[in-house]
Amino acid sequence: MAQITAADVKKLREMSGAGMMDCKKALAACDGDIDASVDYLRTHGLAAASKKAGRVAAEGMVVALSEGDTGIVIEVNAETDFSSKNDTFTSFVNAVAELALAKKPADVEALKALDLNGATVQETLTKLIATIGENMAIRRYELAQVKGGVVSAYVHGAGKIGVLIGISGGNSAELQDLGRGVAMHVAAVNPQYINRNQVSEDAVERERAVLTERAAGSGKPANIIDKIVSGQMSKFYSEVCLLEQEYVMNGDLTVGKAVQAVQADAEVVVMHRFQLGEGIEKKESDFAAEVAAQING
């Protein structure tokens, strides 16, 4: 068997645009023959995949699933909304989500390495990229497990937002219903933290400094300013902390009080919210110019 060198791998990557591991595998399968390795990569749908990796993938699909005390939420991105609604793409994402719920991988890399119908998840995705012709990526994934509790999942807007809520204290039908209601609340309101204890000291001090400076301009005495700032800090917490927000399912209660009303010792301990494409800078393009470039190209 021919020795595979780093130079061979580099050359094949440049010729094919495939990933390093795929190139090494192709060279090994083809006894080091570069041209045969290019054909091997093309035959296996791998030659063009990594050439698309630089393109922005901000569309796609979020899936959240739960069963008993376990739940997962995953975001898989594609370049266009059209492709993200393709049956092949949605079937892949749903299959990966169900696999993740069953196998409970710890992180994205472990998820990519799982077997999906005889190939790894990453290998299957690479072939899908070549088939559909767009860059795609498993961007993020979270696993939630609450021993002795319940994890509820909610997906909003056909995969635009996915939420997981974990509640400790039991797994009754009432807690399961509550978890779904809280998950719907999180999808709608987007709290940043579960409770005050999760808010960093820096964030609190920054907010307090802004409010104090604003109140100082009123000319009121220091003791009155302290009371004003304390009241405004309570409002700040009610805006960013889940348990202090007005519950969308019952405006007479905060989320925290709604939880206690169902079960006194129940506690929200997990909150994950994925919104499709958040934090990804989308590349704005002139559609007419893009079509013209394709025609002229």
Q: Give domain status of residue 272, yes or no.
A: no
User: Where residue 284 falls among pLDDT bands split at 50, 70, 90?
Assistant: very low
pLDDT at 204 over 70: yes
User: Where residue 220 falls among pLDDT bands split at 50, 70, 90?
Assistant: confident
What CATH code is carried by the domain that includes residue 129? 3.30.479.20
Range of 98's domain? 57-145
Q: Give domain status of residue 129, yes or no.
A: yes
Q: What is the mean pLDDT of residues 44-64?
A: 70
% of the chain surpassing 70 pLDDT: 89
pLDDT at res. 10 = 84
Residues 99 and 141 in one domain: yes
Output the average pLDDT for the chain: 88
Residues 87 and 16 in one domain: no
Q: Give domain status of residue 69, yes or no.
A: yes
For residue 72, the surrounding DSSP H or E stretch is: strand 70-78
Give pLDDT tens digits for 107-140. 999 999 999 999 999 999 999 998 888 889 999 9
Q: Which residue has 């390795």 as its token pair?
A: 37
Q: Give domain status of residue 85, yes or no.
A: yes
Q: Give domain status of residue 38, yes or no.
A: yes
Q: Give domain status of residue 30, yes or no.
A: yes
Give pLDDT tens digits for 24-42. 888 999 999 988 888 788 7
Q: Which residues, at least 6 apart from 260, have a Cβ–Cβ distance to it below 8 Å?
A: 266
Residues 61 and 21 in one domain: no
Residues 132 and 61 in one domain: yes
Higher pLDDT, 204 or 73: 73
pLDDT at 263 over 80: yes
Residues 140 and 86 in one domain: yes
Residues 77 and 17 in one domain: no
Residue at a domain's end among 91, 111, 145 = 145
Q: What is the mean pLDDT of residues 255-263?
A: 97
Overall domain count for the chain: 2
Residues 74 and 116 in one domain: yes
pLDDT at res. 2 = 75
User: Where residue 287 falls among pLDDT bands split at 50, 70, 90?
Assistant: very low
Q: What is the mean pLDDT of residues 270-274?
A: 98
Q: Give domain status of residue 175, yes or no.
A: no
Q: What is the 3-state secondary structure (H, E, C) of 124-180?
A: HHHHHHHHHCCCEEEEEEEEEECCCCEEEEEEECCCCEEEEEEEECCCCHHHHHHHH
- Read off the tokens for 276: 């499709």
d(CA 64, CA 90): 13
pTM for this one? Answer: 0.74
Q: Which of 83-87, 146-150, 214-218 has the lowest mean pLDDT?
A: 214-218
Residues 41 and 67 in one domain: no
Residue (of 140, 136, 272) closest to 194 by Cα position: 272
Cα angle 125, 129, 130 (rounded to 5 degrees) comes to: 120
CB atoms within 10 A of CB 136: 26
Residues 43 and 69 in one domain: no
Residues 85 and 112 in one domain: yes
Residue at a domain's end among 145, 161, 195 = 145
What CATH code is carried by the domain that includes residue 11? 1.10.8.10
Residue at a domain's end among 145, 176, 207 = 145
Give pLDDT tens digits for 224-254. 888 888 889 999 999 999 999 999 999 999 9
